[in-house]
Amino acid sequence: METSLRYSKSLRIHAKEKLPFNSRTHLQLHGELDAGTGAPSYFCAMIRHLFPEALTGLGVGLYYDKRHKLRSHVRGKKEFPMGANKLVTFNVKGRCDFDQDFNQKNPIGAAEFSWNIMNFKEDQDVRIKVGYEMFNKVPYMQIRENNWTLNANMKGKWNLRFDL
């Protein structure tokens, strides 16, 4: 099980488990507990399928959170390597939530460049992402160093994650 501590407006404990069906398909379960209130903030069960020859992933699942209750969602990601070593990629990704009546809610779509720097320093890998979220019309960035991740966008939103 993967666990992490996440902070933006409050500290949350996040856990994720992947249960494989085969080499390309798995059931992903993940959820979050708000450390301030002690209440769960969300839970998600999703079937994810990878198409490695096309550098593509697709997921469908159910999502429960304290504000919107039960929703279903679909997500996908396509990766375009910018070189033979695949350390720099151009990614296109999207997600769409649906309420219980299958009305579309909260579409998200983004285009981003990702640069993986292996052995930035000894035993230290770094990933830098710069992208644009198309529905909210906001640029964003991510800097990840082994266990630490900082996400920020141009509207002033940010969060910090530490993988345990």
* Predicted pLDDT of residue 13: 96
Is residue 141 a contact partner of residue 152, using CB atoms and an 8 Å limit? Answer: yes
**Does 56 score more than 90 pLDDT?**
yes
Q: Which two tokens stand for residue 139?
A: 């640029």
Q: What is the pLDDT of residues 122-147, one digit of tens each?
A: 889 999 999 999 999 999 999 999 99
CA–CA separation, 91 and 94 (whole Å): 10
- Per-residue pLDDT averaged across 108-115, rounded? 97
| pTM of the full structure | 0.89
Helices (H) and strands (E) in the chain — how many of each?
0, 12
Q: Which pLDDT does position 143 carry in this prediction?
A: 98
- The 10s digit of each residue's pLDDT in 5-31 is 999 989 999 999 999 999 999 999 999
d(CA 75, CA 61): 9
Return the pLDDT at 68: 73
What's residue 123's pLDDT?
86
Q: Which CATH class is domain 2-163?
A: mainly beta
